[in-house]
Amino acid sequence: MAKKEEGFEKRLARLKEIVEALERGDLPLEQGVALYKEGLTLARACGKQLEAARNEVKVAGEGALRDFNVPEDGNGDDDQA
């Protein structure tokens, strides 16, 4: 999972660089448009990663990740022993 976090952090850092460059307003039009498009791609990728992380946390928080307990008799029906 560390690889995903590194990817997210790198994307976010690049997105911040792009925003700062666009906010300065000193870029030629073509370069500004190219950076804008790159920023949109990065923002979407970061959003998808955040949504996936949010879903993982939600599943864990709701208790959907539980231990699988098998009865000792192995049949799963405690009343018919």
Q: What is the mean pLDDT of residues 53-67?
A: 78
pLDDT band at residue 78 under the 50/70/90 scheme:
low
CB-CB contact of 33 with 27 (8 Å): no
Q: What does pLDDT average to over the chain?
A: 83
pLDDT in tens, 29-58: 999 999 999 999 999 999 999 999 998 888
Q: Is the pTM of this model over 0.75?
A: no
pLDDT band at residue 63 under the 50/70/90 scheme:
confident
Q: Give the pLDDT confidence score for residue 10 in this predicted structure.
A: 96
